Amino acid sequence: MKNLTIIGFGNIGQVFARELSPYFNVTVANRSNKSKLAKRMTVAFTQDIKNSVKNADYVILSVPVSSLHLVVEQIREKVPNRALVMDTCAVKEIPMKIMSQLKCNVMGTHPQFRKVHSVQGKSIILAGKMDPYFSRIYKKLG
């Protein structure tokens, strides 16, 4: 099973953790301690954002665009070259420019939902080439 790190454990981060945990080894990283929630969702939790990505095949940055630069700075030296890093911001130009500083593949996404409990039947706009493995998982989710 591949490794997925989700940075940011607000509503969208929680939805992705819940939906993707059957298909990935999920680690959630968040500044504030949300370890009890992560445990209930049966995903790993850390507050160490910098090191949370060191074994990741995929990284979802589920943080506000205003925090994206800081998060990218923190993970830049730790994210593996093989990883695919995706954001969940509503705008694309700024996040794509910020993520281009990483030495790995990046893709912009824009989930077309806010407060939901499932991605089934929901649209996600993609900016970039979708990874084949992640694409198969997404199609399974409907």
Half-sphere exposure of 25 (CA within 13 A, CB side): 8
Query: DSSP assignment of 2-17, as one string?
Result: EEEEEE--SHHHHHHH
* 70 vs 131: CA distance, rounded Å: 25
* 78 vs 9: CA distance, rounded Å: 20
| Strand duo 2-7 + 58-61: pairing | parallel
Rg (the chain; Cα; Å)? 14
Judged by average pLDDT, the poorest of 16-20, 103-107, 108-112 is 108-112
- Tens of pLDDT, residue by residue over 29-87, are 999 999 999 999 999 999 999 999 999 999 999 999 999 999 999 999 999 999 999 88
Residue 141 pLDDT > 60: yes
Q: What is the pLDDT of residue 82?
A: 94
Q: What is the pLDDT of residue 117?
A: 53
Mean residue pLDDT across the chain: 85
* 141 vs 117: CA distance, rounded Å: 13
Residue 36 parent element (H or E): helix 35-40
CA 116 to chain CA centroid, nearest Å: 17
- Tens of pLDDT, residue by residue over 7-37, are 999 988 998 899 899 999 999 999 999 999 9
Could you tell me the pTM of the whole model? 0.86
Geometric angle at alpha carbon 105, from 81 and 97, rounded to 5°:
120
